[in-house]
Structure 1
């Protein structure tokens, strides 16, 4: 087997060299790139802050009974125990994940030091269960085992970098996680799992820092590019002997059977789907090709087994897609596309995005009496380097050999890589935000199970959302709005109770009322607006969506022809990758009642908070490399809340 692998690798190297020699002049092949990012990221904060609009830290911390605080974390981080990570140059071990998350400096797979801008409150190692730990101990013959990735990027020329990139990418595309060309080695898998569990227990400090034992289960769809992946997260130290992988059960229903068994044995566990945007429409599919419901993929307890979904991460946004939400001017945000080389169609995106899935869920509640797609949302990174990259400035990538330097991400470090690397379409990661009474494994797990969570694209934007049948006037403007709103309503992730406190004399005309408060990241950009996204089902069983702007900055006028406030504008300077907080607001508040409410219609409501435009990671990279930035030069980072549901 080893000889076959070496022979295959040699053929690939010869073919790559031949193609490159024909396609590019020698002076381009043999010249290395000067890449300042290999010295490590600059995470310093250099904002021009409008001092007339100071931010207010910890806005939502109350002193009443049942108070909640927001905790920040990343539930999707890989180490060298994952086959793809090791092959791409990662050598970090489980302990490194938690050291980095708590603020210690770690060596990146590309050889430079990295430190998180601000420590996290919680984290989880989610190495791929498939062939767990085997690539690391197999003696693979790949470029990153022949020499360090740091040496490849610092000392070698563009030809060698391109050759190395192609060889590794070809190996992963052809073999998936089975890079060792051998079967499952249960002893290695068990030893790797023991290492993950031991690190989680060493670093778990109740009240200070929380760890979650877990792994990534990667469905076998027969297509390495199509994602039906889940992160399996445990809420206690009662754990299985070895992770359940897609080799043990290749489909989501197989995983659900395993999860039910775990729960029946008393273990606290959930699965968190991620990257539905790359599922070719399979992630949230509820019908077959004839329109008949598929019970296996939409069981009544799916929303309990999978209470939250990861919708913002490096491999793109999974909130919605322009083809699904054509009237949403902000839908085109970090759209990673679909499986490389395939056309993006309505079929490939239908069932692949969260908003569409929430609409499918309330449609099923209307027709079937239950909602299997009642889930909350989080963000995370999917870093494969034991880190949690989520900042645009100082972004360090997902997989070192693919995007671990500015030169690799832009394609400038190689020849033709700018046309081939998927990393150019990727975002900079995301964060999971959880509202909980304390930073413990039990409290955070409980909060995730009840869906009191929200996702951000990286910034620590704080979002509070409550709904009820009537709040005192001025609740949103109150300093202790959260205590009032929690007493009279329900938070994100909940269902509205029966109409017990109508806000109208005529209960038939009563509508739910919402309290929303958003605060900018204390070291980040000001806020543009708060939006409410509503989905509902009409009497014919068809679902719809609508976006309402609830609050916006700078006293901008409302444009009747568009139904939206004027654009916030932009202060981004592409030449220096900088911006100013001279526009936008540090916080926004709204108290809103649905003007189109119909008490006979199933509905959901969630909030989206947008920042003012800021430079994208690719713009920071372009400035470092002295090249023109790719589009988009600027993005509007965001936070997305879990929904609140209404049932007639």
Structure 2
């Protein structure tokens, strides 16, 4: 038998923590609650915001199965629609509120094969208990499958790998069957106007442990016979070209990069994968195939980093800078975060008229439990054997473990927010292509962001949204500016109805100077209470903090339920290449680790609280002569 590898030593240490005292393991078998009958949302020409998760894995992903997940795509949609499902550890889990849309996006590499191999090894086994899953993992069986697949299949095409079947003829249909089940589950659960599903998969290129992953998302039922994987090529440019070929054949498809924070600077480079300079054709292809990027998820945020944005006091939010095994080398920050990519795109445009980075933003969870664990109070982890219980998760804070792993830094986030006239595949997919989207860290903040030639009285007008669309552009848009007066930005945020009050709204501006060097600035444009008036020219005062770490509670006695403002850039310069996006912050609330500590009756690790947030897609200013 293959010797247990280093990851399993970490798992053993984690699993031993609070193994008996962990209340999560004290549950009784019961009937699982069914999904909720979701209401029909009537089409709205002024658009509604819909919240969803486009990055969910089931047991058909090789890493999910080997780490204890036994759920199917059907379970993911059941969970997203408000039903209960069984966590890989065994206890039932349920979302706090149903989502509006979701996608199962299992890894295309070795799709369904780990599960099928285990079934062949032990015919008839359908569901394992937590102890059986743990025993299988610690015995090395799961990793034996995984490393066998990687050793036998890597660097060969997936067609060749499937033909060879890793030496097991019975695996010939594993990927085909898994892909068929993913498509079937999406079809069964798609309900026009009520709940939308997308057929999707994850392309998981990871050269030298550098994350270049993308979720590939289809806009309708017309999808290829099998997903395209990094076994064909680890080069993202080859993926874009393949997806363009699929578009030419009639498919509607986009790719959504994620975990750029772990890409070691490769996700948003100034050059091609080969090191050669970008061409306009390749930059245009990337802009077309990748309209949005995922900036919030379990493995950290990818908006910005303190080293890149030293004047941004909120840049240190939920940072994860290394993969699961913390022994990996330090990561390059430049080229790894979305704000930096937006700035780089403007610099490239100034220097050569080429910009590959006109990116909108979304969030999604990257859960491997067939769930969306984005609520801090009910967080149940990414992978059962790595972080599936409070005891395992808080065990990751112990010194002998956290030097090998990064699970204690993982986050309960994020969600994709999409403005569309109705909850259908075509409407949501069109919105993602035009970038009328925003990312949240898990909270369901409602955020509007427009720019245009607006009168100062617009903010109080009864038809404010109608005028905003008619005389300007929403988030993700490009505003054509032909006069010297600065455009007006309309910002309107409402709190999550079941969440925390709002602290402030900020506008992040990026621009290039005459030499082509990019810069950024953060403006506080609206805030709760009387803090904006009191601040004057000084920094805005903190909103305060009501979090009781010992009890994992907070109070909405501070903050605002709604903030809105019509804002003009005080530093506007006519003809300056610039972009703007909005960020909304909640008041402080307890982090998942604080809730876990209360559950276990142990001291809470730091940080004990966080400020949930929403980040909009940018609005670009277009001046005469700027053609990209």
What range describes the TM-score normalised by the shorter chain of this pair? Answer: 0.7 to 0.9
Residue 356 (structure 1) aligned with residue 356 (structure 2): no
Deviation for aligned residue 1:384: 0.5
Deviates more, 1:588-597 or 1:336-345: 336-345
Deviation for aligned residue 1:281: 0.5
Distance 1:409 1:260, change over 3 A: same
Deviation for aligned residue 1:482: 1.4
1:198-237 paired onto structure 2 within 5 Å: 198-221=184-207, 223=208, 225-237=209-221
SS in 1 for 2:217: strand
Residue 114 (structure 1) aligned with residue 96 (structure 2): no
TM-score by structure 1 length?
0.85
CA offsets, 1:275-322, max 9 Å, x none? 000000100111379997344995222111100000000000000001
* Structure 2 partner of 1:367: 351
SS in 1 for 2:479: coil
* Structure 2 partner of 1:495: 478
1:247-266 paired onto structure 2 within 5 Å: 247-266=231-250
Aligned equivalents of 1:437, 1:633: Cα separation in 2: 39
Residue 599 (structure 1) aligned with residue 585 (structure 2): no
Deviation for aligned residue 1:371: 1.9
Deviation for aligned residue 1:341: 2.3
Cα-Cα RMSD: 3.3
Do the aligned partners of 1:411 and 1:421 also contact (CA within 8 Å) in 2? no
Distance 1:432 1:228, change over 3 A: same
* Structure 1 partner of 2:461: 478
Distance 1:511 1:521, change over 3 A: same
Deviates more, 1:31-40 or 1:171-180: 171-180
- Identify unmatched segments of 5+ residues in structure 2: 29-40, 155-159, 166-171, 624-628
Deviation for aligned residue 1:562: 8.3
CA offsets, 1:150-190, max 9 Å, x none? 2269xxxxxx88x9569589769967866999943452211
Aligned counterpart in structure 1 of residue 285 of structure 2, from 298, 301, 307: 301
* Structure 2 partner of 1:523: 498
* Structure 1 partner of 2:46: 67
Do the aligned partners of 2:66 and 2:142 also contact (CA within 8 Å) in 1? no
* Structure 1 partner of 2:31: none
* Structure 2 partner of 1:54: none
Do the aligned partners of 1:204 and 1:211 also contact (CA within 8 Å) in 2? yes
Deviation for aligned residue 1:563: 4.1
Aligned equivalents of 2:536, 2:464: Cα separation in 1: 34
1:380-529 paired onto structure 2 within 5 Å: 380-411=364-395, 416-468=400-452, 470-499=453-482, 507-508=483-484, 510-529=485-504
Deviation for aligned residue 1:16: 5.5
Distance 1:368 1:615, change over 3 A: same
Residue 614 (structure 1) aligned with residue 594 (structure 2): no
Do the aligned partners of 2:387 and 2:407 also contact (CA within 8 Å) in 1? yes
* Structure 2 partner of 1:239: 223
Distance 1:147 1:460, change over 3 A: closer
Distance 1:38 1:477, change over 3 A: farther
Distance 1:294 1:267, change over 3 A: same
Aligned equivalents of 1:29, 1:247: Cα separation in 2: 36
1:514-593 paired onto structure 2 within 5 Å: 514-556=489-531, 563-593=538-568
Do the aligned partners of 1:402 and 1:421 also contact (CA within 8 Å) in 2? no
SS in 1 for 2:550: coil
Residue 80 (structure 1) aligned with residue 59 (structure 2): yes
* Structure 2 partner of 1:8: 2
Distance 1:622 1:30, change over 3 A: closer
CA offsets, 1:181-228, max 9 Å, x none? 99434522111111111111111111111110010001141x2x3210
Do the aligned partners of 1:135 and 1:180 also contact (CA within 8 Å) in 2? no
Aligned equivalents of 1:598, 1:176: Cα separation in 2: 57
- Identify unmatched segments of 5+ residues in structure 1: 1-6, 42-60, 154-159, 500-506
* Structure 2 partner of 1:150: 130
Deviation for aligned residue 1:409: 1.0
Do the aligned partners of 2:448 and 2:493 also contact (CA within 8 Å) in 1? yes
Aligned equivalents of 2:62, 2:234: Cα separation in 1: 18
TM-score by structure 2 length?
0.87
SS in 2 for 1:81: coil
Aligned counterpart in structure 1 of residue 599 of structure 2, from 611, 624, 631: 624
Deviation for aligned residue 1:423: 1.2
Distance 1:319 1:497, change over 3 A: same
SS in 2 for 1:393: helix
Aligned equivalents of 2:318, 2:18: Cα separation in 1: 32
Aligned equivalents of 1:562, 1:476: Cα separation in 2: 23
Deviation for aligned residue 1:422: 1.5
* Structure 2 partner of 1:286: 270
Aligned equivalents of 1:29, 1:305: Cα separation in 2: 45
Residue 35 (structure 1) aligned with residue 35 (structure 2): no
SS in 1 for 2:478: coil
Aligned equivalents of 2:2, 2:309: Cα separation in 1: 45
Do the aligned partners of 1:252 and 1:297 also contact (CA within 8 Å) in 2? no
Distance 1:180 1:247, change over 3 A: closer
Alignment size in residue pairs: 592
CA offsets, 1:119-156, max 9 Å, x none? 111100100000000000112889xx999452269xxx
CA offsets, 1:29-67, max 9 Å, x none? 7984311133579xxxxxxxxxxxxxxxxxxx999x731
SS in 2 for 1:362: helix
Do the aligned partners of 1:124 and 1:213 also contact (CA within 8 Å) in 2? yes
SS in 2 for 1:371: coil
Deviation for aligned residue 1:627: 1.3
Do the aligned partners of 1:62 and 1:482 also contact (CA within 8 Å) in 2? no
Aligned equivalents of 2:343, 2:27: Cα separation in 1: 44
Distance 1:218 1:237, change over 3 A: same
Aligned equivalents of 1:562, 1:138: Cα separation in 2: 65
Distance 1:171 1:285, change over 3 A: farther
Do the aligned partners of 1:365 and 1:602 also contact (CA within 8 Å) in 2? no
Distance 1:40 1:259, change over 3 A: farther
